Amino acid sequence: MTFAGGGRFVRGGCPACTGRLLDERVARRDELAEAVAATEVRIAAAARAAGRERSELTLVAVSKTWPASDVLLLASLGLHDFGENRVQEVVRKAADVAAGMAGGVRWHFVGRLQRNKCRTVAGFATLVHSVDRPELVTALAGGAVVVGRQLDVLLQVSLDRDPSRGGALPRDIPGLAGAVTASPSLRLRGVMAVAPLGAPPRPAFARLRETSEALRRDYPDAVIVSAGMSEDFADAVAEGATHLRIGSALFGKRPAVP
Ligand SMILES: *Cc1c(COP(=O)(O)O)cnc(C)c1O
């Protein structure tokens, strides 16, 4: 079957344009399939080097800035977990993805969160990675009650003490954990961090591992460690990461945000 021209596939618009769109879609599918395969090779190598199993690792494809059509293509290639960092963007995208497939995907919220967006996030997120202050615990707990579900959350740990990049200081984690576990509508599942800028990631991920181990002594179910991005995930795997948040290695370089 050829995609070019074929008037049979056209519902309005010019046949040549429809053919070109289909060609572009096929080319993008090939590109994404190659990126998934290459990323899986890197993940397998990182797991092997760390003496761990691939099955211990969840790949979260960070689809921020990329269209719903890319999410649908990756879903057709077997990916189910997608990460986003802007509430408005993911709400629109999630609707388009839901309209384009049966079953749907799992959305992870990985960005800086504002209190007034918590109810919306509680409505769609499978896992909120970025809880870093008490007011978010309160707002997410309330939002989860309103939408009638229990919400899984991670505590974001600051590894560089730069408040503009998000995250709570390690010494504030026990207090936040207590607040989450005191909220029946929330479930504490673990920790998340972003490597510091301009410093080697491995020692930072080692500090995250210590924070995770301390947390698990009090809350044995808080087993998730969300760490590692396209450039540094091998170091994260070596330090016990369970959820890898990978964007550009899968989708390509993000278009500059105006
Ligand atoms: C964008 C983003 C990622 C993915 O980064 P890449 O370098 O593109 O893999 C991971 N985590 C968070 C919190 C992000 O904002």
> How remote is the CA of residue 245 from the centroid of ligand 1, in Å?
6
What are 118's two structure tokens? 């918590």
Is any ligand 1 atom within 6 A of the Cβ of residue 64? yes
Q: Is 128 touching ligand 1 by the criterion CB < 6 Å?
A: no
Under 8 Å CB-to-CB from 198, ≥6 apart: which residues? Answer: none
Q: Whose CA is nearest to atom 10 of ligand 1?
A: 245
Cα of 244 to ligand 1 centre, how many Å? 9
Q: What is the pLDDT of residue 13?
A: 63
Q: Residue 17: its pLDDT value, please?
A: 79
Report the alpha-carbon distance of residue 131 to residue 111 in Å, rounded: 9
Coil vs helix vs strand at 236? helix
Ligand 1 pocket, residue 201 CB under 6 Å: no
Alpha carbon of 248 to ligand 1 centroid (Å)? 8
Ordered structural domains, the chain, with CATH: 2-251 (3.20.20.10)
The pLDDT of residue 258: 56
Atom of ligand 1 nearest to the CA of 62: 4
β-bridge partners, 61: 82, 246
Q: What is the pLDDT along the chain (258 residues), one digit of tens a residue?
A: 333 333 344 455 677 878 888 888 899 999 999 999 999 999 999 999 999 999 999 999 999 999 999 999 999 999 999 999 999 999 999 999 999 998 889 999 999 999 999 999 999 999 999 999 999 999 999 999 999 999 999 999 999 978 778 999 999 999 999 999 999 999 999 999 999 999 999 999 999 999 999 999 999 999 999 999 999 999 999 999 999 999 999 999 987 765
234 Cα to the center of ligand 1, angstroms: 14
- H-state helical runs in 66-200: 68-76, 87-100, 118-124, 134-147, 173-181
Check if 244 has its Cβ closer than 6 Å to any atom of ligand 1: no
- Helix %, strand %, coil % of the chain (to 5): 50, 15, 35
Provide the pLDDT for residue 6.
Answer: 35
